[in-house]
């Protein structure tokens, strides 16, 4: 007998508390209409904001690239895994975003770990919005720097944290917050960043491809540039529909990451075919503005519909649209009823969100139609009638 045998007790207690997490198996392709355990579901939970994850052009680019460059990269970037397609994708992203350099990472989680743990150590301080993504919080822990958190989007609270003594201070924030869908007040943050000589790192996981001119992100939409936000992280598995992530920064910052970011150095490079597919996706992201326009239209239709049902929305203008239900059991019951009606909408409950702010978290995609939104609204009306 070892302690491993006691895990079943712990697992059961999670089940009893309604906290047990489970993956559901999706067959076929990613789509807003998913085959889940043999059932067709209309999904409002993906981050495939532009509907590109299963775009045939990306599948074709990936297939061609695999034929040309094979599947595996075989080694880490610094050994022999840095292939032409990685180099070209980095150049294309840097050019698009107006940064000196870009560095690809295998995932956004690893990019955040790499940046913060490489640039900061024990005598430094990273100042973060309280609602930042887990990867930024984990990165702070890994770096050994002091972690200070300010109240969500509260500039007075940020300023208090900035008065701290530390050799290096870095402000890190999500651009679009994943549970509320609101956007960080980047213009005000840039002013504080300059006043306190604390550079800003912005995580554009939910902003890149979706907001700004040509989908360059929330920072671009706020009119701030590479001088104001010297470190920009973006993911390639959400709106880009591919996989991986990148960091855009100055030449020196990128060189420092190459020297010392352990999540860059000690891991096999992403397949070159994925980097080729990123280039194909970038072209679509840049050129097909209609996807962002349609996404905005779908969000507007949903918000107007929810308001006329008398339900509570948050002030989000992004594709992340929570419907606030308050009580955790209520959110769960609505989510389950929606599931019976063929809709996949997760209930988000404490401790992920503050007490009494349990919610249904709808996320929208350019692949949703007006009819899909109507179905969501009709299904919410059914919940409202049955589960008042």
Ligand X SMILES: *Cc1c(COP(=O)(O)O)cnc(C)c1O
Residue of 55, 129, 182, 203 interacting with ligand X (CB under 6 A): 203
Question: Which residue lies nearer to ligand X by CB, 105 or 302?
Answer: 105
Smallest CA-to-CA distance from 26 within 7, 8, 39 is with 39
Residue of 77, 86, 206, 349 interacting with ligand X (CB under 6 A): 206
Select which of 86, 133, 238, 368 is catalytic.
238
Smallest CA-to-CA distance from 109 within 256, 247, 269, 281 is with 247
Which two structure tokens, joined as six digits, stand for 14?
A: 């999670």
Select which of 82, 86, 169, 206 is catalytic.
206
The verdict on 128 binding ligand X (CB under 6 A) reads: no
Select which of 118, 178, 335, 365 is catalytic.
178
Q: Going residue by residue from 92 to 111, which x/- string records binding to ligand X, judged by CB under 6 A?
A: ---------------xxx--
Question: Which residue lies nearer to ligand X by CB, 115 or 205?
Answer: 205
Instruction: Give percent helix, percent strand, percent coil of the chain, each to the nearest 5.
Output: 45, 20, 35
* 238 has catalytic annotation: yes
The verdict on 349 binding ligand X (CB under 6 A) reads: no
* 379 has catalytic annotation: no
* 178 has catalytic annotation: yes
E-state strands within the chain? 26-27, 33-36, 39-43, 101-105, 125-129, 146-150, 169-174, 200-203, 231-235, 245-249, 312-313, 320-326, 343-344, 347-348, 358-363
CA distance 34 to 14: 28
Question: Which residue lies nearer to ligand X by CB, 204 or 373?
Answer: 204
The verdict on 361 binding ligand X (CB under 6 A) reads: no
The verdict on 237 binding ligand X (CB under 6 A) reads: yes
Nearest distance from residue 39's CB to ligand X, in Å? 26
Question: Which residue lies nearer to ligand X by CB, 166 or 215?
Answer: 215
The verdict on 46 binding ligand X (CB under 6 A) reads: no
Residue of 65, 94, 137, 205 interacting with ligand X (CB under 6 A): 205
Question: Which residue lies nearer to ligand X by CB, 166 or 345?
Answer: 345
3-state secondary structure at position 345:
coil
CA distance 50 to 48: 6
CA distance 259 to 257: 5
Residue of 46, 193, 220, 235 interacting with ligand X (CB under 6 A): 235
Q: CB 19: neighbour CB atoms within 10 A?
A: 10
Residue nearest ligand X, CB atom distance: 108
The verdict on 342 binding ligand X (CB under 6 A) reads: no
The verdict on 295 binding ligand X (CB under 6 A) reads: no
Taking CA atoms, 168 is separated from 67, 123, 144, 191, in Å, by 46, 7, 13, 17
Angle, helices 272-287/84-97, rounded to nearest 10 degrees: 30
Nearest distance from residue 316's CB to ligand X, in Å? 15
The verdict on 118 binding ligand X (CB under 6 A) reads: no
Question: Which residue lies nearer to ligand X by CB, 132 or 379?
Answer: 132
The string over 217-226, giving b where at least 16 C-beta atoms fall within 10 Å of a residue's C-beta and e elsewhere, is bbbbbbebeb
Site residue total, ligand X (CB under 6 A): 14
**Catalytic (active-site) positions:** 178, 206, 238
Residue ranges in contact with ligand X by CB under 6 A: 107-109, 112, 133, 135, 174, 178, 203, 205-206, 235, 237, 245
């Amino acid at each position: 007998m070892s302690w491993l045998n006691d895990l079943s007790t712990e697992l059961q207690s999670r089940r009893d508390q309604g906290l047990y997490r489970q993956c559901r198996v999706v067959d076929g392709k990613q789509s807003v209409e998913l085959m889940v355990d043999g059932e067709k579901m209309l999904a409002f939970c993906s981050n495939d904001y532009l509907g590109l994850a299963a775009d045939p052009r990306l599948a074709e680019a990936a297939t061609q690239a695999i034929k040309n460059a094979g599947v595996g990269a075989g080694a880490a970037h610094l050994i022999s895994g840095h292939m032409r397609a990685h180099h070209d994708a980095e150049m294309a992203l840097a050019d698009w975003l107006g940064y000196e350099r870009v560095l690809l990472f295998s995932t956004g989680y690893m990019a955040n770990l790499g940046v913060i743990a490489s640039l900061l150590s024990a005598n430094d301080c990273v100042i973060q919005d309280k609602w930042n993504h887990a990867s930024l919080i984990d990165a702070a822990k890994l770096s050994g720097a002091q972690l200070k958190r300010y109240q969500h989007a509260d500039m007075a609270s940020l300023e208090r944290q900035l008065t701290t003594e530390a050799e290096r201070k870095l402000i890190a924030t999500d651009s679009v917050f994943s549970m509320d869908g609101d956007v960080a007040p980047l213009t005000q943050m840039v002013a504080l960043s300059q006043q306190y000589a604390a550079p800003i790192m912005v995580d554009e996981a939910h902003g890149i491809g979706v907001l700004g001119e040509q989908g360059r992100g929330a920072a671009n939409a706020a009119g701030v540039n590479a001088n104001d936000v010297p470190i920009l992280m973006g993911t390639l598995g959400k709106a880009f529909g591919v996989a991986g992530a990148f960091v855009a920064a100055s030449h020196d910052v990128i060189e420092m990451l190459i020297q010392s970011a352990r999540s860059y150095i000690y891991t096999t490079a992403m397949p070159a075919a994925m980097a080729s597919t990123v280039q194909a996706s970038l072209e679509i992201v840049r050129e097909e503005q209609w996807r962002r326009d349609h996404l905005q239209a779908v969000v507007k239709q949903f918000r107007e519909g929810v308001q006329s049902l008398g339900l509570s929305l948050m002030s989000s203008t992004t594709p992340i649209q929570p419907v606030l239900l308050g009580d955790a059991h209520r959110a769960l019951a609505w989510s389950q009823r929606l599931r019976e009606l063929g809709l996949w909408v997760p209930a988000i409950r404490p401790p992920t969100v503050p007490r009494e702010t349990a919610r249904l978290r709808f996320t929208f995609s350019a692949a949703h139609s007006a009819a899909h939104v109507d179905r969501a609204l009709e299904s919410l009306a059914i919940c409202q009638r049955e589960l008042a």
